[in-house]
Amino acid sequence: MKKRGHIKFHRIKTWQLVVILLPLFFIDATLLRADHIRMTELRDAVLAADAAENDEEISQTLDTFKNFVFSNIVINVVDDNGRQEVSFGTGPFYLEHQYIRAANKALEEAEASIVSDSNPNGNIYQMASEVCQPQAIANGWSWNDANYINCMVGEIQKYPAADELNNTIAASLPSTELYRKNYASPIWAPTFTGWMILFTILIIVVIFIRGIIWILLRLSLLFS
C-alpha cells in the first residue's frame, strides 16, 4: 500500500500541484486572518476591562489573551516610528486607565507627605488644584484624567519650594513600561492553521525540487 501510494504521488503532475497550491494560499490567508481577528477581540476585552477600572477582570482577560497569543500564529502589522512592519505578535498596547489610577494615587500620597507649615509658599498642592480644577470643569476632565494629572504636575513644578514634592512624585509615579504590553507569538504552532501552512510549504518544496530536477535534465540533454 505504501508503494502504491508512492507511485500515485509521483503520477501527480507539477501543474496539478500548482493548481492545488492556489486554493491553499487562500485557505492559509483566511485562517491567519481569523486568528488575527480573535486576537483583536481578546485585546479589546482587556482594554474594555481597563476602561471599566476592574483590576480583577483585567487580570483574567489578560491571561486569556496571553494564552491565545502564545499558542497560535498571530501575524500583525505594527507601526514602528512611522514605518509599517509585519511581526509575529500583538504589537504594543497600553493599560492607560490602570496607569492613570496608579499615577493619581501617587499624587495623593505626595500631597499627604507635604505639610503646609514647612512650605514657604503654603500648600502648593492646593494652589495647583485651584488652577487645574477650573480647567478640568471647563474641559470635562475627570479627577483621574491624564490631562488633569499633567496640569497638576506642571503647576506644582512652578514653585521653587516644590523640590521635595517633585522628588516624592518622581519616586512614587510608576513606570509606564509596567503598563505597556507587547506579546510575541510563535512562528509556527501545532494548530489547524499551523498544519495547513506546513502542508502548503511541503507542496512548495516539492514543486521547487521538481523544477530543479527538470532544469538539470534539460541541461544534461543540452550538453550531452
How would you write the chain as a 3-class SS string?
A: CHHHHHHHHHHCCHHHHHHHHHHHHHHHHHHHHHHHHHHHHHHHHHHHHHHCCCHHHHHHHHHHHHHHHHHCCCEEEEEECCEEEEEEECCCEECHHHHHHHHHHHHHHHHHHCCHHHCCCCCHHHHHHHHHHHHHHHHCCCCCCHHHHHHHHHHHCCCHHHHHHHHHHHHHCCCHHHHEECCECCCCCCCHHHHHHHHHHHHHHHHHHHHHHHHHHHHHHHHC
Q: Could you tell me if residue 147 is inside a domain?
A: yes
Range(s) of the domain holding residue 141: 116-178
Same domain as 198, residue 141: no
Reading the chain (224 residues) residue by residue, the pLDDT tens digits are 444 444 454 677 878 888 889 999 999 999 999 999 999 999 999 999 999 988 899 999 999 999 999 999 999 887 766 677 888 999 888 898 888 888 777 777 766 665 444 555 556 667 777 888 888 888 887 666 778 878 887 887 776 555 555 665 666 677 778 888 999 999 999 999 999 999 999 999 999 998 888 888 878 777 76
User: Does one domain contain both 158 and 197?
Assistant: no
Question: What confidence score (pLDDT) does residue 82 get?
Answer: 67
What is the pLDDT, as a whole number, of residue 143? Answer: 63
Residue 45 lies in a domain: yes
pLDDT at position 166 is 60
Task: Quote the pLDDT of residue 168.
Answer: 59
Mark whether 192 and 157 lie in a shared domain.
Answer: no
pLDDT given at position 114: 56
As given in the structure block, the three cell numbers for residue 70 are 502564545
Are 169 and 201 members of one domain? no
Task: Verify that 22 and 76 share a domain, yes or no.
Answer: yes
- Same domain assignment for residues 125 and 27: no
Q: Domain for residue 206, yes or no?
A: yes
Are 173 and 191 within one domain?
no
- Number of compact structural domains in the chain: 2
User: What pLDDT shows up at residue 115?
Assistant: 47
Are residues 151 and 188 located together in one domain of the fold?
no
Residue 31 is predicted with a pLDDT of 95
Does residue 73 share a domain with residue 25? yes
Domain shared by 196 and 174, yes or no: no
